[in-house]
Amino acid sequence: MPPSVGVVLPTHNRPELLRRALESVLAQDYEGEVRAVVVFDRAEPDASLAGDRVEVIRNTRAPGLAGARNSGVLSLSTDLVAFCDDDDLWLPGKLAAQVKALESEPDAVLCSSGILIDFDGRELPRLAGTDRVTYDALIRDRMMSVHSSTYVARREPLIEIGMVDESIPGSQGEDWDLALRAARRHPVLNVDEPYVRVLWGLTSYYAQAWETKVAALEWFLEHYPEIGEEPGAAGRVYGQLAFGCATVGRRKDALRWSARALRANPAERRVPFALAVASGVVSGKRVLLALHTRGRGI
């Protein structure tokens, strides 16, 4: 009997996108039971979505994405749990491929897949280039394709490692943290095919929330000191902090983090962007739009 799967879809005031995401989940061709729980965070639940395979609940934990995910996990009793953000879409074959990968390695907690970035109608695949993602690899490289909407996890081990951390400012990077904690126990399995369409652009609530991004990055430096010990990782995070501070007008902090980034990694590519924004030559938003057009980010 194939393992049962419960899919958590957190949402906040995006009804049309949510319905598309839910439809993509329920359309998966998978032999086992698939249930979905839609978790409304700081929004009135839409009871019309409920059905034989769909439960609609409120976020009963900390307000925000992490609390919403955990509310969904705890409401389920399935063997496996999976996540899908309300502005993303699962593509055909995703669930069956990832469950097969998890069944091949009983000690694994988490499985991810590749993604297909959809920015203004342009599709750009992003793959990890491996079928196993280690803790050290995730410290060195954030790995864009190890994305929350790709996650399928064993429910009990997920609860054992603490589910989604609700203390991260704004839930920024909560999927990176979860992957790191899962990888401490066993490498994250990865089906390296683009099985999730990730919508980039103005639909993201995090697109311009740079004060929160800065706080979250500082949280990661505190909780994962290994980042500061690896030159490439340190340069990346310090460079992101420099860009974030520049974007919100904290020029002195931007210069300080830029200097730290260059000391860690003289070739850190984010520093020129941060300095350009800090000097007023260009806005942070304009830089991000240019990068997103190429399927890249800060």
Same domain, residue pair 194 and 242: no
Where helices occur in 36-132 by DSSP H, the ranges are: 65-75, 94-104
Write down which residue in 173, 200, 227 finishes a domain.
Answer: 200
Tokens 């590749």 belong to: 114
pLDDT attached to residue 251: 96
CATH classification at residue 39: 3.90.550.10
Q: Which tokens go with 79?
A: 């063997």
Same domain, residue pair 100 and 181: yes
Same domain, residue pair 146 and 254: no
pLDDT attached to residue 207: 46
Instruction: For 30-44, write each residue's pLDDT tens digit.
Output: 999 999 999 999 999
Same domain, residue pair 69 and 163: yes
Same domain, residue pair 193 and 281: no
CA distance 146 to 192: 10
pLDDT attached to residue 206: 45
pLDDT attached to residue 293: 76
| 82 falls within a domain | yes
Bridge partners (DSSP) of residue 88 are: 198
Same domain, residue pair 15 and 105: yes
- Quote the number of domains for the chain: 2
Low-confidence ranges of the chain (pLDDT < 50): 203, 205-207
Same domain, residue pair 249 and 128: no
| 205 falls within a domain | no
pLDDT attached to residue 279: 95
pTM, whole model, 2 decimals? 0.94
pLDDT attached to residue 99: 98
Average pLDDT of the residues of the chain: 94
Backbone φ, ψ for residue 119 (5° rounding): -120, 110
| 72 falls within a domain | yes
Write down which residue in 200, 223, 256 finishes a domain.
Answer: 200
Same domain, residue pair 169 and 260: no
pLDDT attached to residue 268: 97
| 186 falls within a domain | yes
Same domain, residue pair 54 and 125: yes
| 298 falls within a domain | no
Same domain, residue pair 158 and 221: no
Domain assignment of residue 98, given as a range: 5-200
Same domain, residue pair 158 and 286: no
CA distance 258 to 255: 5
Write down which residue in 166, 200, 234 finishes a domain.
Answer: 200
